[in-house]
Amino acid sequence: MFSLSLSDGAHLAPLEVWQAEEFADHLDRAREHIRPWVGPAFVTDDVDGARATLQRYAERLAGDGARLYGVRQGGTLVGGVMFTAFDAGAGSCEIGCWLEPSAEGHGLVTQACGALLDWAFTSRAMHRAEWHCRADNERSSAVAERLGMTLEGVRREAWPYRGVRYDKQVWAILAREWRPRGE
């Protein structure tokens, strides 16, 4: 298995089905913090739900689709990044992220998402990468901006959460606009 070093002793590595208990424990720490900002199917409540989420991503990966990676700090799973959509034929993908509160403010999401974009644009020749977030999620919008993405539009009331509909921002970056890490 690979692991990519990030700052503050953190590492990025694939999340796999056999890690369901660790993922469930992490979600216990992160659930209420991330629930408003991520899809409802992602925020599970037990080990079986965590296993089902990891299995869904494993099946998508096997079909050259979505992928899921964990961010570990000091050996503890504190969040992750993913390709929520990955279509090599169309040359487009969408990335997303989540973190538990203890890991925020260290630049881990920006670094990890930068690694995903590097791989998508340089290894897989993707043409376009998107980032979708609730319009009121300032932290998420800030990451998209730090990654060099452009806010392309707002889908009005496209994000339902607990009986309220929120606006969704759509950010994107094209391969020709991306500057690989270290440049």
CATH number at residue 137: 3.40.630.30
In this structure, is residue 182 part of a structural domain?
A: no
Model confidence pLDDT, tens digit, residues 67-106: 999 999 999 999 999 999 999 999 999 999 999 998 988 8
User: Using an 8 Å Cβ cutoff, are 139 and 169 in contact?
Assistant: no
**What's the one-letter identity of residue 20?**
A
User: Using an 8 Å Cβ cutoff, are 140 and 147 in contact?
Assistant: no
Tokens of 71: 């961010």
Model confidence pLDDT, tens digit, residues 99-151: 999 898 889 999 999 999 999 999 999 999 999 999 999 999 999 999 999 99
Containing structural domain, residue 59: 4-177
Query: 177: closest CA among 128, 111, 110?
Result: 128
Q: How many domains does the chain have?
A: 1
Strands (DSSP E) contained in 34-146 are 67-73, 76-87, 92-99, 128-134
Does the pTM of the predicted model rise above 0.75? yes
